[in-house]
A = this chain, B = another copy of it.
């Protein structure tokens, strides 16, 4: 007879360990343009820690160039898929803080959550991960108590607070606020095309730390040119029609496939085509800046 009680107790203990209210399974991942020199990021994390001391907090970066929504969109998309389902991202690159842009939480089909101003920051994750639902944050209930006088730090008072409550399951996704149309504000950008055995894409971003140049041409599209490791291909890079680079370049599996100082094309971290100089700085050498007007063409 007492065995039933033991079993109940054991099941209870196991359930306790599996429960997210005990083990915070969900990560809370911050991205801002605040920099790390001062206290803003720490205030956000303090608010989140006050919501639950068991949260696992991480950072994408706090060095998004200020007000650069495009780069915010790119960095979110670069990393999101490497985080498990249920991860809550809090993105605060918000030149329009306090204006009419909505504060939303996007739930993607992949099961990730993005707490962000709806200002274009969600352009790329909404495409790559798919929109499941979008809800507007109800700031009447999802706002740090006592923060009403400050109108310029939604990142702390609304976004970090709501993200922390969602990640720690203090609120459900439904309790974020009312359902909106399943769409987010989209930034314009040019998609790569294959025409006459030539692919034309652009340079959405640099891997600036190394000076590597990343394109928006996916490995799947590139595969259609049938260029294999070790082959050479023509690469042309133009800025607003002006030629910056035009050369035959080797396709390598890693930079060691060419000599030091030589250019190479390769598949980058997020499975797009990139071009780099082995142990050199491609972007600086050829004055390549990320822009929808910087076109990258490749053909055999």
Contact = CB atoms under 8 A, between A and B. Distances in A.
Given A27-B49, A37-B209, A46-B84, 20 more contacts: A5-B6, A9-B10, A16-B17, A33-B209, A36-B59, A36-B61, A38-B61, A42-B79, A47-B82, A50-B83, A67-B279, A82-B156, A96-B256, A97-B255, A97-B256, A98-B252, A98-B255, A150-B270, A150-B271, A153-B269
Determine which residue in A37, A50, A63, A253 has the highest number of CB atoms from chain B within 10 A of its CB, and name it.
A37
A173 to B, nearest CB: 19
Contacts of A45: 58
A279 B95 contact: yes
Nearest to A100: B256
Contacts of A33: 209
A22 interface: yes
Contact of A46 (B40, B47, B83): B83
A98 B257 contact: yes
B66 A267 contact: no
A266 B267 CA distance: 47
A255 B57 CA distance: 29
A254 B219 contact: no
B38 A149 contact: no
Given A46-B87, A208-B37, A219 B61 contact: no
Nearest to A58: B45
A152 B269 contact: yes
Main secondary structure of the interface of A (DSSP, over half): loop
6 contacts: A5-B6, A17-B22, A37-B61, A50-B83, A96-B256, A153-B269
Interface in A56-100: 56-63, 66-67, 75, 78-79, 82-84, 87, 95-100
Interface of A: 2, 5-6, 9-10, 13, 16-17, 22-27, 29, 33-40, 42-43, 45-47, 49-50, 53-54, 56-63, 66-67, 75, 78-79, 82-84, 87, 95-100, 149-153, 156, 207-210, 219, 252-257, 266-271, 279
B256 A38 contact: no
A256 B83 contact: no
Contacts of A22: 17
A95 B24 CA distance: 37
